[in-house]
Structure 1
Amino acid sequence: MKIALDEKAVEWFKKELDFPENKALRFYVRYGGDVNLKQGFSPAFTVDTVDPEGYSETQSGLTYYVDEKDLWYYEDHILNVTCKNDEIEYSISNNIES
């Protein structure tokens, strides 16, 4: 799995969300929504404390991660996160090597 943020998305998150010390951007799985990687579920985000047991990356000073309990949703895929017209958009790429 991989989460790929473009630079516009990174800047949007940093501008729009408050990241106190020891906090990061957490992607999680929610019921419903528009992106149907797994039927009936879609990605969402919040600001939270990093889970050392999951997936995490840092890009341009922004740390983002997925808790271990949500890895099932993203496995074997790339979640592409972009910002267009001041809104966050998701798309899915397949065939990632684990």
Structure 2
Amino acid sequence: MDIRLSEKAISWFKDEMLLTDGDYVRFFARYGGSSPIQQGFSLGISNEEPINPVVIKESEGIQFFIEEKDLWYFDDHHLIVNYDEDLNEPQYKYEK
């Protein structure tokens, strides 16, 4: 399991979440919404420090991570985060 982020996606997170070096972004499972890998759940993001991370990707001074308790959601998929120019927001894909 890996987190892969494009440079434009990282810039979006930094700008929209007002992140600076040493900050964190957590990807987590949230109830509701839609997802191609887990019915009835969707991907959430928050700016919080890790407690028990199992996947960490450091980029441009920001640590993007997934907690152990949310690992089930990804079902052995890598999280690919790109940037959608038309919607001006991150685009999430999952790859085995």
Q: How many residues align?
A: 94
Residue 87 (structure 1) aligned with residue 89 (structure 2):
yes
Q: Which residue of 2 aligns with 1:74?
A: 74
- CA contact 1:35–1:91 (8 Å) conserved in 2: no
Instruction: Give the TM-score of the pair, scaled to structure 2.
Output: 0.84
Deviations 1:41-83 (A, max 9, x none): 1111010012244321101222110111101112411111111
Cα–Cα, structure 1 residues 59 and 20, in superposed 2: closer, same or farther, change >3 Å? closer
Q: CA RMSD in A?
A: 1.8
- CA contact 1:35–1:90 (8 Å) conserved in 2: no
Identity of aligned residues (%): 35
Instruction: Give the TM-score of the pair, scaled to structure 1.
Output: 0.82
Q: Which residue of 2 aligns with 1:60?
A: 60
